[in-house]
Structure 1
Amino acid sequence: MFRASNMDNYPINNIPQIWFVHRREYLETHFIALNELQKKLLKFSGGNNVISILRAAETLNQLSAQIEAMEETLEANLSPLSSAYDPYNRNKLTRIRNLAENTALQLETIAKQLSWGRSPDQQISKVKRNLYPLIQLVDAILIWLEGVIQ
């Protein structure tokens, strides 16, 4: 689906295979962390630890940085007309980065509100709303990376 029919002209050959393996490993780690965060938010109570919320925000910031590095490397090594890395995947990467950054900001707001003794219900619902598409998009990119690696 993502591979070009003529493997001799496959534009991803410019990028070392180990780069894709490392990106997959990073994304798998973040994928697991996102699923755990989603489970914790389902059981969220106001007494949750502010530090763990800030750690989750930092994880999302790291995910955003990884996605940005992927975008830059892929853009630098692939031609605009490449069928191996279609614009749909580019849009997915951009959406992951945007959702991760937005969700990290919401988590930081939750931590601030908790530290001031306020209820963060509105931000919690925004984080929950962002997590499902974020997890789905990361999973789609993981599937794409798996296809590229094989």
Structure 2
Amino acid sequence: MAVTYTGVVTVTGEGRNGGRVEAGDGLLDIRLAIPKELGGAGGATNPEQLFAAGWGACFLGAVRRAASQRGISLASTAITVEATLTHDDDGEFGLSAVLNLELGGVDQATATALGEAAHQLCPYSKATRGNIPVVVNSTAVAA
């Protein structure tokens, strides 16, 4: 397997509870905080938001690739990713995700097909397949 790219970040402090994330190239430097919804102070990002951002960006790339492979032109693309921290009755934490994809310039059947194809292509989707519950909602929108 050939390496295409490696993103490197260092997390310091107490992780999600007031930690800091810095990328090796200096382009990412952010604070972390526990969301108010979990009893934290809020005011900074958290691992679920970062995961959702990465997955959403990657997924749109996979959508564009799937469309290109099929000769389909997209007028617009947008995705809202919900990365949810869950916990079982025994207190163990997990994740679930909902990907809400909106594609302009195509009909509903094509939007659905492209969402399904992207879910097969996207490395984040591949990494989570069979590990967490994931729902992909694809919607055709007016361009």
Question: Fold-level match, TM-score > 0.5?
Answer: no
TM-score (structure 2 length as normaliser): 0.29
Larger relative contact order (CA 8 Å, sep ≥ 6): 1
Per residue, is there more strand in 1 or in 2? 2
TM-score (structure 1 length as normaliser): 0.28
